[in-house]
Amino acid sequence: MTEKIERLLQRVEEFSPRSAAELEEFRIRILGRKGELNDIMEEFKGVAPELKRELGQRINKLKTRAQERISELKGELESRTAEEGGTIDDMTRPGDCQPLGSRHPISLVRNEICGIFERLGYTVAEGPEIEDDWHVFSALNFPPEHPARDMQDTFFIEKNPDILLRTHTSSIQVRTMETHKPPIRVVCPGRVFRNEAISYRAHCIFHQIEGLYIDENVSFADMKQSLLYFVREFFGEDTKIRLRPSYFPFTEPSAEMDISCNLCGGKGCNVCKHTGWLEIMGCGMVDPNVLEACGIDSNKYSGFAFGMGVERCSMLKYGVKDLRLYFENDVRFLHQFDTAI
């Protein structure tokens, strides 16, 4: 038995694995539950009492050395693998350049738009996506029979007609007017929801940025000049605007704002349907009924509001033609915006 212990100890000392798998196989063969060391322990039970002390010490020495040797070999293999993989011992050498992620184009455009209005003195306000009827419709002068209240356009929560997913970020404007006294100057970015069929030009989820300015003696001319400043900052200094009469329940008078097509320079192309103009937002003077509903004296204060789709602005800025690309998380699409961080 002494010879068997010595032979096994010699094998442990001489063993030189070529891989971690080979080392693990050797460990199991020697130290495993059914390994050679276990066989020696079983044989040790039948040894004469006068020999047990000496043999027991030899077995303990074998077990300890086997464990130490396997740990040493494991460390050597890890070091060898690291060296072959290009580990750099000189920490002063420049490291490998790792690829960085990029911001989503919606985030890029949202941040840029908010930044432009912040330079005009606006602050960013946010609100909940799950809203009530008052903040989404009633406070904004939507009559009870207005089509936007129908199930075809709005996602209601558990068929409760008073709890719904907001259809526009105007609800943030209402909350701001209820909690702040004029002057008020905010932009309200956020995600909104409408029950629409998904296509290359429409989606049931999209993003809006709406703005609100309330103070004494605010005029339609103030609104026009503010929006002209925005489009020239965002689309370029040569951008022109035009305002067309429109209707929104919460503004009076109301307008749709177009910009000169930034793709063809206003000459006419497929994107602008050869008109030279692209619609980007709705705007208008805040209806006095809305001011009164939010506790603001309409005889003393006036204001204007505007709203635009972030996806729409992003499509025009980056030339994206399919709205669905923004929601598919295709890294090939997102990597195109790496340089725009």
145-172 average pLDDT score: 81
Residue 69: name the closest of 11, 116, 122 by CA: 11
The one-letter amino acid code at 75 reads: G
For residue range 271-318, list pLDDT tens digits in order.
Answer: 678 888 888 999 999 999 999 999 999 999 999 999 999 998 888 888
What's the CA dihedral at 181, 186, 188, 189 to 10 degrees?
Answer: -150
3-state secondary structure of 112: helix
What's the pLDDT band for 220 if we cut at 50, 70, 90? very high
Which residue shows structure tokens 């067309």?
244
Residues 263 and 272 sit within 8 Å (Cβ to Cβ): yes
Enter the pTM of the model.
Answer: 0.67
Look at phi and psi of residue 26 and say left if phi exceeds 0, alpha if psi is from -120 to 50, else beta: alpha
CATH 3.30.930.10 residue ranges of the chain are: 105-340
pLDDT at position 227 is 95
**Per-residue 3-state assignment (H helix, E strand, C coil) for 117-174:** HHCCCCEECCCCCEEEHHHHCHHHCCCCCCHHHCCCCCCEECCEEEEEECCCCHHHHH
* Residue partners of 101: CB distance under 8 A and separation at least 6: none
Please state the rounded mean pLDDT for residues 237-252. Answer: 92
The pLDDT of residue 340 is above 60: no
Q: What value does the mean pLDDT of the chain take?
A: 86
The secondary structure element, H or E, covering residue 207 is strand 205-215
More confident residue, 115 or 45: 115
Q: For residues 318 and 323, give the distance between their C-alpha atoms in angstroms, rounded to a whole number.
A: 12
CATH superfamily of 105-340: Bira Bifunctional Protein; Domain 2 (3.30.930.10)
To which residue do tokens 């000169």 refer? 260
Query: What's the pLDDT tens digit per position in 43-83?
Result: 877 878 888 788 788 888 888 888 888 888 888 887 776 66
Residue percentage of the chain with pLDDT more than 70: 92
Whether pLDDT at 6 is above 80: yes
Q: Which two tokens stand for residue 97?
A: 């350049």
pLDDT of residue 199: 81
